[in-house]
Chain A
């Protein structure tokens, strides 16, 4: 049984259909990259998977049961969601931001942390190599350090499903590679990791499976070498690609505009 699945999912914004009757299933222990041109519905798909939007038709299933039937707290425990350009509105201490990931488990920042929550927060900080920033205020951190803390916040929930919306956008290469390594480590621990990416090179290299969204539907779905093949992504993006082999990994490079 799949960890997470969508059946006949249709999503509308106004009278425009963003996703039309798509079927997908996601497995535990895998990193699935969702790619596609702007406006293809990547973020929309992720929001449906997180239960943030209600589908116009179809259903999202978590472990075979409808997501809409789960209580908000249970959903929060099972699915961690890292929003695009996630940030905090107040200059909170980094450790407190990470501790917010324990909220679905009943944590309360205004009370002394329970041992299980403090341990989970510490583990999450270690996984992102962020222990040394933990006691600094979040607004004094660099963008990369802050993104790392937001990732730690999502990891602290220790959910079976981790959804990340463009976690490497606006990060330098070092942070981007580190973020992908963190996601791989989560999958190795058995989590079902679904990540929206714009960088096809990272998707080709780090994902077990790539889903290409285009024209309201799934244009390709499979191992990176197949889903990111020239004809598929050229049609999806309307751009000419070159493929370069680096250390045995095929790297697609957007090369020329097509009109």
Chain B
């Protein structure tokens, strides 16, 4: 399966370079054509690839770790918390003074949200407590963002930030790519080796520990990894929801539900989904280009409804 997914991601990446107001820009054969490729399309396609990959991977990690098929960075508030922290960095002027401030703030915000969620799930396991905690974190993050914007001296702040939070990878130049890519790649490297331990967790925390899993250090490792991935991704692209929910669902049955085996395919499917969505928003006949996050929500939210219905039997047990 992975081989086919790699081919699909590669094709979508090339399409992402090709599609836009100027189709096949390299065919122009002049400086303008190559400028479009290198300064517009390559950053956009590469960010789509990386962000989709880390969102799909984060969804797979969170679902395996929390043993819950509804866990996803957007739904449970990790992205929103990262977004709030990035907004703070932006409006406090830190981001202007120090180029890494925004991704680092995003990473810290995401890490805090993951730690809060872990605490909630420890004290009362079950889908209901997880989703309610997610609702609370989302609400707090949204309220805090509004507060920061109200305090901002910039009158256009609200519009700017609303658009940015809706999720987009348009007009991000190579610089954004260079400062966030290392964090995303590092985060992915940190969690990709944890597959065996995630497999063990499917028998519950006690049994996993009896099988030699150090659940405390695993928790720290996954918090750090997901924090790096979602924090860096959100700081550059805003909130792109539901990719982390859908990607693991699409691959799970094909790997016999082994949590560790969902990681790599979820990453590839996540990358494919975001590349596809980003191509779709360019092709839709809207007055201005639809925000990528709006598009993934439009397509992804019904998917969540379906997943909740399926999980209802498990809710009763939770």
Contacts and interface: CB of A to CB of B under 8 A. Distances in A.
B23 to A, nearest CB: 40
Minimum-distance CB pairs A-B, first 5: A76-B212, A81-B210, A89-B67, A90-B257, A73-B212
B210 A80 contact: yes
A100 interface: yes
Interface in B254-283: 256-261
Interface string B167-202: 000000000000000000000000000011001111
Contact of B257 (A76, A81, A91, A153): A91
A103 B200 contact: yes
Interface string A49-77: 01110000000000000000001111111
Nearest to A157: B211
B207 A89 contact: no
A177 to B, nearest CB: 25
B261 A110 contact: yes
B99 interface: no
A134 interface: no
B203 A88 contact: yes
B260 A109 contact: yes
Interface string A143-180: 00000000001000100000000000000000000000
A50 B210 contact: yes
A37 interface: no
Contacts of A93: 256-257
Contacts of B200: 100, 103
B215 to A, nearest CB: 10
Interface string B207-237: 1011111100000000000000000000000
B160 interface: no
Nearest to B207: A83
Contacts of A153: 203
Given A83-B207, A86-B207, A103-B199, A96 B258 contact: yes
Contacts of A86: 203-204, 207
A231 interface: no
Contacts of A80: 210
Contacts of A97: 203
Interface in B113-133: none
A92 to B, nearest CB: 5
B212 A88 contact: no
Contacts of A109: 195-196, 199, 258, 260-261
A110 B260 contact: yes
B258 A92 contact: yes
A41 interface: no
A72 B212 contact: yes
Q: Which of A79, A83, A103, A153 counts the most chain B CB atoms within 10 A?
A: A103
A104 B212 contact: yes
B289 interface: no
A72 B214 contact: yes
B206 interface: yes
A101 B199 CA distance: 11
Given A100-B203, A109-B258, 20 more contacts: A52-B209, A52-B210, A72-B212, A79-B210, A80-B210, A83-B204, A86-B207, A87-B203, A88-B202, A89-B201, A90-B257, A93-B257, A96-B258, A100-B200, A103-B213, A108-B199, A109-B195, A109-B199, A110-B195, A137-B257
Interface string A87-131: 111111100110011011001111000000000000000000000
A203 B203 CA distance: 27
Contacts of A77: 212
Q: Which of B67, B196, B203 counts the most chain A CB atoms within 10 A?
A: B203
A83 B206 contact: yes
A103 B207 CA distance: 11
Q: Which of A50, A83, A110, A137 counts the most chain B CB atoms within 10 A?
A: A110
B315 to A, nearest CB: 14
Contacts of B260: 108-110
B65 to A, nearest CB: 11
